[in-house]
Structure 1
Amino acid sequence: MPSISQKGRNMPESPIRKLVPYAEKAEAKGKSIYYLNIGQPDIKTPEVALKAVKENNIEVLSYSRSEGSDTYRKKIADYYAYHNIKVSHTDIIVTTGASEAISFIFGSIMDPDDEVIICEPFYANYIAFATANSIKVRPIISSIEDNFALPSIAEFEKLISSRTKAIMICNPGNPTGYLYSKEEIEQLADIAKRHDLFLISDEVYREFTYDGHSHYSILELEGLDEHTIVIDSVSKRYSMCGARIGCLVTRNETIRYTVLKFAQARLSPPTYAQIASEAALSTPQSYFEDVKKEYIERRDTLISELQQIEGIKIGIPKGAFYCIVELPVKNADHFARWLLESFSIDNETVMVAPAEGFYSTKGIGTNQIRIAYVLNKQDLIKAVNIIKEALKVYKD
């Protein structure tokens, strides 16, 4: 038979979704599963967003502009203004999810074999988008020992070569929940400017910061307009993962012009989803205050329960709704599959994401999992108890 591409062979499986067949088999046997593997919030989508679609009287569902509708982009600019970030609607290109924004950016600023430096562990799909665009990720390992803080700038300097085009961060971080400080952002900005690199920041979890910490965007940096690109999305902010609406924001006109060519090639982002996303921008601030309070309580519950398990290490999240946990096992991937195939309590089990897939350095993270605390507190307690009891009987 004809062969597939080398790129196709190199494309990694998703650590978040690859165990779905095991979960489906477990459910077919009558097991109930606590899904801790995926960042799908159980928070209700704002009613104003759903209502905008339900009550719309569109007669012809037409294309929108390739860069997204003017009215929606103007309201996104107003959203940023509320957060003391001044951008024009022309600085914004609406995409089909943050995923498309990342792919467009990689395609616009890098050629095959160019390099992007990313602190690992990082969102697993970054490596997939890099593979799809034939570019290389140069990882810098951050450690659970210091809660995944920014590695030293000297470590970044070691990796910069003539093929380096960008440094990329996720702030707050997926999968670690780490929140970069203003000082850390300024350090990255300095190195980007000195080496004439792009600084890309995935800021889809901006609203979710804890313990009195606040989010500092790279768009707040002065003198870096030609270097900075922000990735954003409605998925987590408004619990609208299925809308598949994101955007990229940059004041660099050349990048916008180039990205727009990619956007024109896929025609336009989905019209109904833009209508819902535009309406979501009128969600009152009280919604976020309530959601943030809920996530703080869930995080504290999760950490408290995990700390009762002997032999584990926990990265304490300062933002987002993920946490990395190091288990007293050799192979967390095998443990995660075993949970679904062979273990349950009262016919209930747990699905987690093996963290090895969030690293590009081979052999790192093999005994770690990522937990998304998107379940209610009672379910989190039950889920952690299942993990606790499973570790007592599991054999590597």
Structure 2
Amino acid sequence: MPGISIKGIHMPESPIRKLVPYAETAKKRGTKVYHLNIGQPDIKTPEIALEAVKNSAIEVLEYSRSEGSEIYREKIAAYYKKCDINVTAEEIIVTTGGSEALLFALGTIADPGDEIIIPEPFYANYNGFATSANIKVVPVFSKFEDNFALPPVEEFEKLITPKTKAILICNPGNPTGYLYSKEEIQKLAALVKKHDLFLIADEVYREFTYDGVQHYSILQEEGIDEYAIVIDSVSKRYSMCGARIGCLVSKNKAVITTALKFAQARLSPPTLAQIACEAALETPQSYFEDVITEYVERRNTLVAALEKIEGVQVAKPKGAFYCIVKLPIKNADNFAQWLLESFNYKGETIMVAPAAGFYSSPNIGLDEVRIAYVLKKEDLLNAATILEQALKAYPNE
């Protein structure tokens, strides 16, 4: 029988999605499952975006331009200007989700065997993207006790080699919810200039910052135009995960020119989704204010409930809608599967994402899970109760 590629064998499973079959089986048994495992908001998509697709007069669903429609890119540039980020439509490439933007970025700046430094824990798919591009992830450890703040710059410098091409951050962070400060961004900016590296920032959660703290983009930092690459997406911003529209943004002309070749190879981003996203950019600020208020309440509700459970610790997030939770167990993968296969409380259980999959280093985060607080407050309280009862019943072998 023909063999599978080594790359395919080494491609990691998603800690977010790999337990789906167990969840589906639990549902078939009649168990209600609260999905805390995935960042799928229950917030309604802006009606203006849905109406734009419904009312489209398109008679032939044509290819769009490889870099995305000019009108949409102009509107994205106008959106960024409102965020105090000055870029032009020519410095934006529309992609099929933020995932494709990151793949384009990695393909543009790195060759097989090159290295990317990433503070861990990090978005699990970064491991998959790196495997796909034959790039080595070099993790720099951020501490639960520090709420996953940026590790000292000296820790980054210890890891830089001739193979290092970039530092990649997620800001605000998935899975930690940590929001990097302006001062932390400036430290990274100075570091990449000193060592002639790219700084890639996944900023898809830009709108979701809490407690009066504002997001600071790497594109706002002066002096690093040639070093900075931003990954963005509409998925979370407008609760449009299924649109699969993102973008790559950089003022480095060589980066844009090269990334465009990758964009041309895959032809074009989805036409109807761009129409929806173009309309979504007209969403009033009140929409975000309401959404942020809701997420703050959900965060506070969940964190307070978790902190009441014996043996549970939680890192309080400053942005996005995730938190890392440390549990009094030995192996979160086993626990998460047990929750779906063998446990229910009053006919209900929870699905969580084991956090080990968000680390690159082995045997780290084994007692941690990521929880997405994308459910209404009542459901989050029910989920916390189920977790408490599950921990009491779990054999923890």
Query: TM-score band, normalised by the shorter chain?
Result: over 0.9
Give the letter for the 1:299 counterpart: R
Q: How does 1:50-199 map to 2 (within 5 A)?
A: 50-199=50-199
Q: Deviations over 1:10-43 (max 9, x none)?
A: 0000000000000010011111100000000000
Say which SS state the counterpart of residue 111 (structure 1) adopts: coil
User: Which residue of structure 1 lines up, in the alignment, with residue 258 of structure 2?
Assistant: 258
Q: How does 1:196-211 map to 2 (within 5 A)?
A: 196-211=196-211
Structure 2: which 5+ runs fail to align?
none
Q: How does 1:1-396 map to 2 (within 5 A)?
A: 1-396=1-396
Q: Deviations over 1:294-342 (max 9, x none)?
A: 0000000000100111112111000000000000000011000000011
Question: How much does 1:171 deviate?
Answer: 0.3
Question: How much does 1:212 deviate?
Answer: 1.0
Q: Deviations over 1:128-168 (max 9, x none)?
A: 00000000000001111111011001100000000000000
State how far apart, in whole Å, the 1-side matches of 2:40 and 2:386 are.
21
TM-score by length of 1: 1.00
Q: Deviations over 1:327-382 (max 9, x none)?
A: 00000110000000111111110000000000010000011000000000000000
Give the letter for the 1:140 counterpart: V
State how far apart, in whole Å, the 2-side matches of 1:311 and 1:346 are.
23
Say which SS state the counterpart of residue 277 (structure 1) adopts: helix
Say which SS state the counterpart of residue 383 (structure 2) adopts: helix
Say which SS state the counterpart of residue 165 (structure 2) adopts: strand
State how far apart, in whole Å, the 2-side matches of 1:384 and 1:14 are.
24
Q: Deviations over 1:63-109 (max 9, x none)?
A: 00000000000000000011111110100000000000000110110
State how far apart, in whole Å, the 1-side matches of 2:107 and 2:82 are.
31
Give the letter for the 2:374 counterpart: V
State how far apart, in whole Å, the 1-side matches of 2:78 and 2:144 are.
37
Q: Deviations over 1:375-395 (max 9, x none)?
A: 000000000100011001101
Give the letter for the 1:96 counterpart: T
Say which SS state the counterpart of residue 382 (structure 1) adopts: helix
Give the letter for the 1:90 counterpart: E
Say which SS state the counterpart of residue 99 (structure 1) adopts: helix
Question: How much does 1:174 deviate?
Answer: 0.1
Say which SS state the counterpart of residue 264 (structure 1) adopts: helix
Alignment length, in residue pairs? 396
Give the letter for the 2:151 counterpart: P
State how far apart, in whole Å, the 1-side matches of 2:73 and 2:388 are.
47
State how far apart, in whole Å, the 1-side matches of 2:195 and 2:350 are.
45
Give the letter for the 2:168 counterpart: M
TM-score by length of 2: 0.99
Give the letter for the 1:354 counterpart: P
Give the letter for the 1:223 counterpart: G
State how far apart, in whole Å, the 1-side matches of 2:313 and 2:364 are.
15
Say which SS state the counterpart of residue 106 (structure 2) adopts: helix
**Percent identity over paired residues:** 68
State how far apart, in whole Å, the 2-side matches of 1:292 and 1:58 are.
35
State how far apart, in whole Å, the 1-side matches of 2:99 and 2:83 are.
23
Q: Deviations over 1:230-265 (max 9, x none)?
A: 000000000000000000110000000100000000
Give the letter for the 1:344 counterpart: N
State how far apart, in whole Å, the 1-side matches of 2:308 and 2:39 are.
24
State how far apart, in whole Å, the 2-side matches of 1:209 and 1:267 are.
35
Give the letter for the 1:343 counterpart: F
Give the letter for the 1:339 counterpart: L
Give the letter for the 2:37 counterpart: N
State how far apart, in whole Å, the 2-side matches of 1:20 and 1:143 are.
29
